[in-house]
A and B are shown apart, each in its own frame.
Chain A
Amino acid sequence: MSDNEKTQEELNQYLTFVLDNEEYGVPILSVRGIQGWEKTTPLPNSPDYVMGIINLRGEVVPIVDLRKRFDLEVIPYGAHTVVIVVRIEQENKQRTVGLVVDAVADVHDINDEDMRKTPEFGEKMRNEFVRGLGLIDEKMVIILEIDELVDWQKVPGGDQVLSTKETTEDETENELVATEAA
């Protein structure tokens, strides 16, 4: 039971970070860790915002540059550049992803009554990535919809590659099954 209570309290907590002078927040419950930028192994045939993969305690984890993801101006990584490792959920499958941001800011409590609906961001920011706006005193924080942020199934070419692969496999299997039935 205490677990649940704790979860309730933490549900309203957000880790905020800075990206191009704007403050963003992600639910603290989805954060698995924060670490400095390290060199990644580049992945060919992948979206440009995927910087590559790293070894995170034996797990192979993709790293996403959020500036590139949001089509913001790309700046060289510096001393404050950090990777926030988050757990996202896609099709009932938990995946781990690292997000490269300019710097980590703070942890805030934002209650439901302080959440605002998302206004149109126009070209600068795609709305599907935003869950809402959080009010902290006089400040606004953009709360991200992290599950949408890196929906690999929607990666250009990504789902195409997946579906073609699956079809071919199915066909082969069916053919063999067909003869087996003979």
Chain B
Amino acid sequence: MSQVLIVDDSHSIRELLSSILRRAGFEVTSANDGKAGLHIAKESAYDLVITDVNMPEMDGIELLGNLRKLPEYSFKPILILTTEFSQEMKQKGKDAGATGWLVKPFDPEKLIDVISRILK
């Protein structure tokens, strides 16, 4: 079973994503900010990381940068989940090494499509 790590400071979004992904058969772990996300990511090798951008402590971009520095996450897919739709933000995400981004609001079915494709 593929393991997915969700990093978002919003409890409801975490719950929503987790339940969607669990129903789709993924094993889901979640963290409420970048710092916790990094900590958890180090403990186990996740097949996919989905992170929010705007978070206290450590934001998604910083998390991405930190994850990409780790050998076990150099090639892992990491998706950014964001409401922001600015070019700068995307560029930042790309530069930090995001594999792709998901825009809130998301369609659960499509989300699963995206993720299933990545985790095939």
Direct contact between A and B judged by beta carbons closer than 8 A: no
